[in-house]
Structure 1
Amino acid sequence: MKPRHRAPCRPHHDVEVQDEAGQVLKRVRLPEGMAGISRFHELVARFVAEDAEPSDVLVCIETDRGPWVRALRAAGYRVFGVDPKQAARYREILSSSGAKSDKGDAHALADMLRTRRRQLREVAGDSEVAEAVKVVTRAHQTLLWERTRHMLRLRVALRDYFPAALETFKPLGLTSEAVLKLLAKAPTPASAAKLTISQISAALKGRRDIAGKAEAIQQVLRGEHLGQADLVTAAYAASVRALVAVITTLNTEIKTLEGEVEAHFGRHPDAEIMLSQPGLGAVLGARVLAEFGDAPGRYACAKARKNYAGTSPITRQSGKMRTVHARFVHNDRLVDALHLQASCAILHDREVRAYYDQLRARDVGHNAALRQVGNRLVGILHGCLKTRTHYDQTTAWSHRSQDLAA
């Protein structure tokens, strides 16, 4: 007997219990929190033998994290997390009418676990340290993405009413402290034209050639440029002040969270191995660790880790036609981290650069080459974690030397 469970984004959980033959034994709706999980344990006890082990109970749930998942795993149940898109596709197999309900979703998950268990991924038992690293790294990256969104809004606003500021400040970085200070002090063309060399220099503190940069900025801001009517300019200035305030706050919190990322990552036993990999620093290494997780045995081989990372290609074949494509369904955060790792690695590791150049010589595009570099680096990381050894350039790329010698 295998209880199945579904946890939608609502303050309740629809549960369906099925036996091995697919017969529905019980349907029930449970509340959130301790009351719900207690009733779930009571429900399980009604349908399992007295001498049954907790691992005999299989639970299918439409998420892989959260208090309920943690409580279910703590009880010893085997928990399988299903991607919502995967669940939706299976629901279409069971019914072509398009009807949808929480009760129907619970039935679909129960049937999926009974018939396609081998195709589902069991929720990994990551360590508490790895879970903590994931929390802070995801929060840090989310704030970075939010800052980019606000920066793009700021750029659009400046382009529409203050193109001189965009031309002047863009090389400095619109999210830099210097630019934010100047925009906060002078958000309109008229006020910016009144900025003195000393005011601009104070904002540029810590940069090279402050005098030269300050003079160039002042010269551009005091030139003649196209603009908007005074009333419209004042409205734009109000929106820019708000954006500047938001980005300034984000900068502060990003810096704070970066310290938390480094602190939590430093506590993990795999931190030194991750940092030995080409292209990985503390923040990027923490992201890779967090998204891969550290549950023992989660990846049976390097190929399994590459497939999860989304760096390995997929093959589509129909008759005599055979094509190879990049994977479009993947963990966006992990793919982003591995892309950044490959970009950094080709600049600092000669063997990685040689592999990249070899791909480019075969007319492989830049992004496709970086994806293949990232795929190779994932395999190297898997080997290092499996053998508990640091990255060694000679060992990792020995096959290339053998191929050249041959």
Structure 2
Amino acid sequence: MTSAGTAGSTDTEPVRWGGVDWSWSEHAVCIIDDAGAAIERFTVPHTAPGLAKLVTLLRRHQITGVAIERGDGPVVAALLDAGLAVFVIASRQVTALRSRYGTAGNKDDRFDAYLLADVLRTDRHRLTPLSGDTDATIALRMLIRARHDLVKARVAAHNQLRAHLQLAHPGVVGLFHQLDGKISLAFLDRFPTPRHARWLSEKRLAAWLNAAHYTRANTRTPAQLFGHLRHAPAGLPDGPAADAAESITREQVTLLRSLRERIDALETHIAAALDAHADATMFTSLPRSGTVRAATLLAEIGDVRARFPTDDALAAAAGIAPSTRASGRAHYVTFRRGCNHRLRQAIVDFADGSRAAHPWAQDTYARARARGLNHAHAVRVLARAWLRIIWRCWNDHTPYEQARHLAAVAARHPQTATPEPTPMAS
């Protein structure tokens, strides 16, 4: 980094910093010198010409770096495409840092732009420049997050249908394994109200289930299903309310079926994008990773190795490593809340699922429970152990090998039947 030039000096270029307080309508920008004095303030609209003007002005001032509150979106893409060094300062950090400049704590876009630039000037050594993932990873992340949003919509629609049926048609609630499963939605298509369901007998129900390709007859027989319907509360009596309820049921069934179809379609795209990704085998080789789990881990971790120089850095970003706090004589460890919540959900989901297919994973979880940890805490302990392995595989561009991992565990702990978790992986 060059130092700011002295008055009259032409041998060195001045050091300047930029801050961008973004929004969906216009962006406030502040450029400061290395002493913290504001050189120029301006706003640009959130349009293609506006972003072009932003890049032009930042280049004209030859800024050393620019700070912003988010790490994605059109603004960041424009800055990175222009070859500028971009640093992300989270919104909650900006909120906390306002007290550094005054006690009012008021939100002002122009002031926040200055704050971002000045924090970058003073704390540059604490910040890491943003590195962009490859287009393949960005595309996979978009697909994964779109699927996640659709799954949330499906869960909300499922809960809405369940609440509706508990009043209008209680017999269907709990009839099948999943209320939004194919067999359940097909049943509601054919028998949307208690009036329609009264036509059923045990024999007729068995015939309908056979025609609908019901696959759980060994675990829940037609007789049991018919008994469930017969002993359920009556629901709405025939009349205008029941007719309205039938219309609602049909519309909600259509919505749920459509959501399931769109999720299935997205999963097909996810599978194709994952197969084409250079890092795919590192994640698909993990036990019970499946397509969606592997793709989610890859998408949220990314492919920029410099972003996580150690497995501790990855664990902190995923919210798996605990947060230690100390003040005076007090010293306690708490749950880490500031993290990539999507990554935490992905690694915890994977770790929990791995217990059914991996003896080391089950043993690590069981020993955590034996120490008195609850289920969620024990799964996080297992997730932390898995992250050591995942980070090593990811950093070395090498797939995971379970046999080699278990052999390394046995070599490290030959005297114990239940060895400690190890970061060894290949």
TM-score, normalising length from structure 1?
A: 0.90
Superposition pairs of residues 295-314 of structure 1, within 5 angstroms: 295-314=304-323
CA distance in 2, matches of 1:61, 1:211: 56
CA distance in 1, matches of 2:302, 2:211: 42
- Does the 8 Å contact 1:204/1:210 carry over to 2? no
- Does the 8 Å contact 2:88/2:129 carry over to 1? yes
CA distance in 1, matches of 2:254, 2:23: 33
From 1, 4, 10, the equivalent of 2:24 is 10
Partner residue, 2:196:
191
| Shift of residue 173, structure 1, vs aligned partner | 0.3
Superposition pairs of residues 5-404 of structure 1, within 5 angstroms: 5-48=19-62, 57-169=64-176, 172-195=177-200, 196-197=204-205, 200-201=208-209, 204-205=212-213, 207-209=215-217, 213-223=221-231, 225-230=233-238, 231-393=240-402, 395-396=404-405, 398=408, 402-403=412-413
| Shift of residue 212, structure 1, vs aligned partner | 6.7
| More off after superposition, 348-357 vs 390-399 | 390-399
CA distance in 2, matches of 1:13, 1:363: 51
1:192 and 1:82, CA in 2 relative to 1: closer, same or farther beyond 3 A? farther
CA distance in 1, matches of 2:242, 2:56: 65
For residues 246-285 of structure 1, what are the alpha-carbon distances to aligned partners after superposition, in whole Å with 9 as ceiling and x for unaligned? 1111000000000111110111111111111233122101
AA aligned opposite 1:402: R
1:211 and 1:363, CA in 2 relative to 1: closer, same or farther beyond 3 A? closer
- Does the 8 Å contact 1:62/1:82 carry over to 2? yes
1:384 and 1:334, CA in 2 relative to 1: closer, same or farther beyond 3 A? same
SS of 1:347's partner is coil
SS of 1:297's partner is helix
| Shift of residue 333, structure 1, vs aligned partner | 1.5
- Does the 8 Å contact 1:17/1:24 carry over to 2? yes
The count of residues paired between Structure 1 and Structure 2 equals 397
| Shift of residue 327, structure 1, vs aligned partner | 1.0
1:404 and 1:89, CA in 2 relative to 1: closer, same or farther beyond 3 A? farther
AA aligned opposite 2:209: S
- Does the 8 Å contact 2:318/2:343 carry over to 1? yes
TM-score, normalising length from structure 2?
A: 0.86
Partner residue, 2:424:
none
1:233 and 1:355, CA in 2 relative to 1: closer, same or farther beyond 3 A? same
Gaps of 5+ in 1: 49-55
| Shift of residue 233, structure 1, vs aligned partner | 3.6
| More off after superposition, 254-263 vs 59-68 | 59-68
| Shift of residue 11, structure 1, vs aligned partner | 2.0
CA distance in 2, matches of 1:382, 1:10: 36
- Does the 8 Å contact 1:201/1:210 carry over to 2? no
| Shift of residue 176, structure 1, vs aligned partner | 0.6
1:12 and 1:369, CA in 2 relative to 1: closer, same or farther beyond 3 A? same
Q: Which structure would you say has the larger RCO, counting Cα contacts within 8 Å and 6 or more residues apart?
A: 1
SS of 2:41's partner is strand
- Does the 8 Å contact 2:170/2:232 carry over to 1? no
Which is helix-richer, 1 or 2?
Answer: 1
AA aligned opposite 2:49: A
CA distance in 1, matches of 2:228, 2:132: 58
AA aligned opposite 2:160: R
CA distance in 2, matches of 1:203, 1:92: 69
| Shift of residue 40, structure 1, vs aligned partner | 1.8
| Shift of residue 375, structure 1, vs aligned partner | 0.9
SS of 1:4's partner is strand
SS of 1:364's partner is coil
| Shift of residue 302, structure 1, vs aligned partner | 0.9
CA distance in 1, matches of 2:401, 2:232: 58
| Shift of residue 99, structure 1, vs aligned partner | 1.9
1:167 and 1:212, CA in 2 relative to 1: closer, same or farther beyond 3 A? closer
AA aligned opposite 2:313: A
SS of 1:348's partner is coil
| Shift of residue 344, structure 1, vs aligned partner | 1.2
| More off after superposition, 200-209 vs 27-36 | 200-209
Gaps of 5+ in 2: 1-14, 417-426
**4+ aligned runs moved over 6 Å, structure 1:** none
SS of 1:30's partner is strand
SS of 1:357's partner is helix
| Shift of residue 316, structure 1, vs aligned partner | 1.5
1:245 and 1:24, CA in 2 relative to 1: closer, same or farther beyond 3 A? same
CA distance in 1, matches of 2:199, 2:105: 64
| Shift of residue 198, structure 1, vs aligned partner | 6.4
Partner residue, 1:405:
415
AA aligned opposite 2:69: E
CA distance in 1, matches of 2:125, 2:243: 62
- Does the 8 Å contact 2:319/2:341 carry over to 1? no
AA aligned opposite 1:47: H
CA distance in 2, matches of 1:341, 1:307: 17
1:88 and 1:121, CA in 2 relative to 1: closer, same or farther beyond 3 A? farther
